Chain A
Amino acid sequence: QSVLTQPPSVSGAPGQRVTISCTGSGSNIGAGYDVAWYQQLPGIAPKLLLYGNNNRPSGVPDRFSASKSGTSASLAITGLLAEDEANYYCQSYDISLSEVFGGGTKLTVL
């Protein structure tokens, strides 16, 4: 059981907008720690997608955005493309456990 809870799967048609939630607690996201998001394509290492206040590493399109409120965070993807089909993970810091990840959400582009 992961410390950060994500839905196992989401789906959307090309061009649509999808969101992925990440629910934590008062010892991690709720304690004010930022959330980072990673994209993992099959057979490939995770890749940093977003961090902090919507910061994107070079090369990440602005179709990807993130938000945080209370003990939860969300990743939004607009203008869905077939190449966005992947697993997405959230990650934060926990006062007791240090670095923690979500269990992951599989995005299917219909």
Chain B
Amino acid sequence: EVQLVQSGAEVRKPGESLKISCQVSGYIFTDYFIAWVRQKPGKGPDWMGLIFPGDSDTKYSPSFQGQVTISVDRSSNTTYLRWDSLRSSDTAIYYCARHLGGSGWRLFDHWGQGTLVTVSS
């Protein structure tokens, strides 16, 4: 069974750093892209970026380029999302999701349970 298990809720102050995680199981970690998706209350999801664990190749949405860093630890089947300096506008639920794609199609077939990040002074 494919599973993506994310780290727990976090509370930080503006300007602080944070790294959240997503550990996968049930399939070969290095064979599929993992994406990170932000969702603010009452809004649609926003794709942030994705990483291919096989070679750590990473692609970011223009909206999130330079704002976050996606990384991977192949020894623990874990993907990370890191902020160096949080803003209050980063308050949201963050999901990791397995990403599949081919010629003319893309989708997210399995999702983590989400990590609530609250940034408040």
Q: Do residues A93 and B44 form an inter-chain contact, with CB atoms below 8 A?
A: no
Across the interface, do A104 and B106 meet the contact criterion of CB distance under 8 Å? Answer: no
Whole-angstrom distance between the Cβ of A101 and the nearest chain B Cβ:
5
- Which DSSP category, helix, strand, loop or mixed, fits chain B's interface? strand
CB contacts under 8 Å to B, within A28-87, are 32-34, 36, 38, 45-48, 51-52, 57
A101 in contact with B104 (CB, 8 Å): no
| Closest-CB distance, A43 to chain B (whole angstroms) | 9
Number of interface residues of B (CB under 8 A): 25
The smallest beta-carbon distance between B94 and chain A, in angstroms, is 11
Docked-complex contact B113 and A100, CB < 8 angstroms: no
Interface 1/0 per residue, B29-65 and A, CB below 8 Å: 0000001000000011111001000000001011000
Give the number of chain A interface residues (Cβ < 8 Å).
26
> Contact at A33–B44, with CB atoms within 8 Å?
no
Pick from B59, B99, B105, B111: contact of A45, CB under 8 Å: B111
Which residue in B43, B59, B106, B108 is a CB contact (below 8 Å) of A103? B43
How many cross-chain pairs have Cβ atoms below 8 Å apart between A and B? Answer: 66
Query: Does B105 lie within 8 Å of A47, measured CB to CB?
Result: no
Q: Which residues of A contact B97 (CB under 8 A)?
A: 46
Task: Please determine whether B45 and A89 come into contact, CB atoms closer than 8 angstroms.
Answer: yes
Task: Write the nearest CB–CB distance from A56 to chain B, whole angstroms.
Answer: 12
User: In the complex, what residues of A have CB within 8 A of residue B44's CB?
Assistant: 2, 6, 89, 101-104
* Beta-carbon contact of A98 and B47 below 8 Å: yes
B contact set with A: CB distance below 8 Å: 35, 43-47, 50, 59, 61-62, 95, 97, 99, 101, 104-114
Residues of A within 8 A of B (CB): 2, 6, 32-34, 36, 38, 45-48, 51-52, 57, 89, 91-93, 97-104
Can you name 17 extra interface pairs (CB under 8 A) apart from A36-B106, A46-B111? A33-B104, A33-B105, A36-B107, A45-B111, A45-B114, A46-B108, A48-B108, A91-B107, A93-B105, A97-B61, A98-B59, A100-B47, A101-B44, A101-B45, A103-B43, A104-B43, A104-B44
